[in-house]
Structure 1
């Protein structure tokens, strides 16, 4: 079974980055301009054009990712430092996923995202980065073999789920939690099925799971079974084994 291939040369040549954006005013992004309540009637002129731009982001994402084959999205903090335990786990996760026959998708940034892309690239697999325009520009990490840049979070989030068969979630902050809870809601509401979500590092994640069980379930805000959407792992090997096993005994289809 052959894994998707990617460049492993020292120069790490990669396909041209798709969807690059032009800078707006300082501290401004396309997302923030879209969500701002504008004080004048200018929105009657600008919002229709934004619809076209949003459409173009979906088109470019679909076009770039439609034929990548089976893939797993890996999330984690952009603040994770190279050489740290979480970084090295991310590298190992990326490597093992490629060896299992799937491509690796991340947010394309530094930290844990870079780690997973690095592991995938060094293993000769397809290493994908889905970047996002932010006021504090980060740019695409050097280990991305196929990159797509987005202005809008909601277009980018669609690609993470549409083109992945599961998530591996390393320790992270608000952005990581955002992706995690959105994926949980999609599974809970049956918008996606057979979609494994694996959290890596039980010490980090157990307090969150305990809060869901001891507070949200007790208050009747979520069902007891909703917690079972998530699985815990403490090593890269465990995480990849769980995500490849999929939900309800089904395996992720590898190429």
Structure 2
């Protein structure tokens, strides 16, 4: 099977021991155990956590970093760093790399990432289905709000409660 990259988006604010961080570790592990390569922003928070989980399972991690973050150093679990020069380029790279997407809880940066992949999928701009899995229920109020204007748009995303569900929905969406 050719390498399939799953781009994972989430908060940079989560720290070890916090539920969001530990959940992201489990998501990264489940994705690597399912045979996926993980890509994310390469820094701290759930980026580090998901990379840690993937690394613990022997998986590869692509960290897409940005030179605008002067003090930013890729986390220790990144096996391949891709340096970009702008936030636009960073997001574009993560979208291009991703054969599927996992969205963990996060702030405005994660919201931007979710909005980008969701709209690209809604408009049919992906060459394949490229599943978008929302981990947990953090994004449910947003999805419900969007459904009020466009009920069909919710078909572009799926919710997963557990890390194993995340990996399972990705596999199902990709037909692997």
Q: TM-score range by the shorter chain?
A: over 0.9
Instruction: Describe the SS at the equivalent of 1:77.
Output: coil
Whether 1:107 and 2:34 are equivalent positions in the alignment is no
Whether 1:170 and 2:94 are equivalent positions in the alignment is no
Q: Distance in 2 between matches of 1:105 and 1:245?
A: 19
Please report how far the alpha carbon of residue 235 of structure 1 lies from its aligned counterpart in structure 2 after TM superposition: 1.2
Q: Distance in 1 between matches of 2:69 and 2:60?
A: 28
Name structure 1 gaps, 5 residues minimum.
2-67, 218-222
Greater per-residue strand proportion: 2
The equivalent residue for 1:123 is: 57
The equivalent residue for 1:234 is: 161
Contact 2:147 2:153 in 1 (8 A): no
Please report how far the alpha carbon of residue 70 of structure 1 lies from its aligned counterpart in structure 2 after TM superposition: 1.0
Please report how far the alpha carbon of residue 156 of structure 1 lies from its aligned counterpart in structure 2 after TM superposition: 2.0
Q: Distance in 2 between matches of 1:103 and 1:139?
A: 20
Q: Deviations over 1:107-137 (max 9, x none)?
A: 0010000011101111111111001133563
Which residue among 156, 160, 182 is the counterpart of 2:94? 160
TM-score, with structure 1 as normaliser: 0.65
Q: Distance in 1 between matches of 2:115 and 2:88?
A: 14
Q: What's the RMSD between the two structures over aligned residues? A: 1.7
Whether 1:84 and 2:18 are equivalent positions in the alignment is yes
For residues 190-209 of structure 1, the aligned pairs below 5 Å read: 190-192=124-126, 193-202=128-137, 204-209=138-143
Q: Distance in 2 between matches of 1:75 and 1:157?
A: 10
Alignment length, in residue pairs?
175
Which residue among 119, 123, 132 is the counterpart of 2:66? 132
Contact 1:110 1:138 in 2 (8 A): no
